[in-house]
Amino acid sequence: MSKHRWVFKPSLWITLVTLLGVTLLCGLGCWQLLREKQKLALQNQANEASTLTPLNNTTLLAPQLSWEMQRYRSVHLQGTFLNQYSILLDNKIKNGQVGYHLITPVALTNDSWLLIDRGFIPLGKSRQQLPTIPAIIGEVTIEGYLDFSYRNPFISNPLETQEIRWPLRMQHLDVQLLSTLWHKKVFPMLVVLNSSPEKSTAWLSPERHRGYAVQWFGLAITLLLFSFFFQLQRENNYV
């Protein structure tokens, strides 16, 4: 008569693959927890900024203003849109549609310009045909909040001065380049209009990152269990 028993006999290759997989999955889980922490900090910053008095033309131009502390701060400004200098921020997608972010500068003074994010605008019939940009005429009231300009240090804007055509299509917003082109002071932040669909801060929600972290850690545990049971072998004991 024989009896069966299960014995764990580890395989070198299976163990190595399991360790590699678990390390990778746990790393992804920790990265999502880090993203959750970052989003919580941004959410707290946005909530705190919403309680502050909106910046106006005078306070925005104050020399002692610390720009790093003004993200998500509300603004209530008066200015004139410089439609002839609009910028099309390239390679943007919204609801599956390819297009641009429309950025137009506003003159707060003769020498100080502020970039305004007017939202998404669809691609024209082709990349060779730029979309029609609606003009905003006269001095208007601008209400929105401040955000960092869309700058990517890993992407260049290969522009030659003789090739400048407006509206200008750019890969990312380079404030220094624009300041040079316009011979004006350009503020380091832009305004997202209250009327813009891009105003939504739902992306700040940290809950989804916590959910992703749980999924990655769950997959790591599943891989460990699968590896353990896969390396069990049945032995027969004869009595």
| Residues 58-83: tens digit of each pLDDT | 888 887 777 778 888 899 999 999 99
Other C-beta atoms within 10 Å of 183: how many?
7
Q: Is residue 56 part of a domain?
A: no
Q: Which neighbouring-strand residues pair with 71? A: none
Nearest to 204 by CA among 41, 48, 68: 41
Same domain, 111 and 215: no
Alpha carbons 14 and 7: distance in angstroms, whole number = 16
Q: Is residue 222 part of a domain?
A: yes
Same domain, 143 and 182: yes
Alpha carbons 57 and 44: distance in angstroms, whole number = 26
Same domain, 195 and 215: no
Contact assessment for residue 65 and residue 59, using Cβ atoms and an 8 Å cutoff: yes
Q: Is residue 190 part of a domain?
A: yes
- Per-residue model confidence as pLDDT tens digits over 208-218: 888 999 999 99
Residue 171's domain spans which residues? 73-200
Other C-beta atoms within 10 Å of 176: how many?
10
Task: Give the pLDDT band (50/70/90) at residue 92.
Answer: confident
| Full DSSP string of 163-199 | G--SSEEESS--HHHHHHHHTSEEEEEEEEETTSGGG
Q: Is residue 215 part of a domain?
A: yes
Q: How large is the average pLDDT for residues 132-144?
A: 89
Same domain, 100 and 171: yes
Task: Give the pLDDT band (50/70/90) at residue 123.
Answer: confident
What pLDDT is stored for residue 116 in this prediction?
A: 94
> Structure tokens of 138?
């006269």
Contact assessment for residue 149 and residue 175, using Cβ atoms and an 8 Å cutoff: yes
Contact assessment for residue 113 and residue 173, using Cβ atoms and an 8 Å cutoff: no
Total structural domains within the chain: 2
Same domain, 190 and 149: yes
Same domain, 100 and 128: yes
Same domain, 14 and 81: no
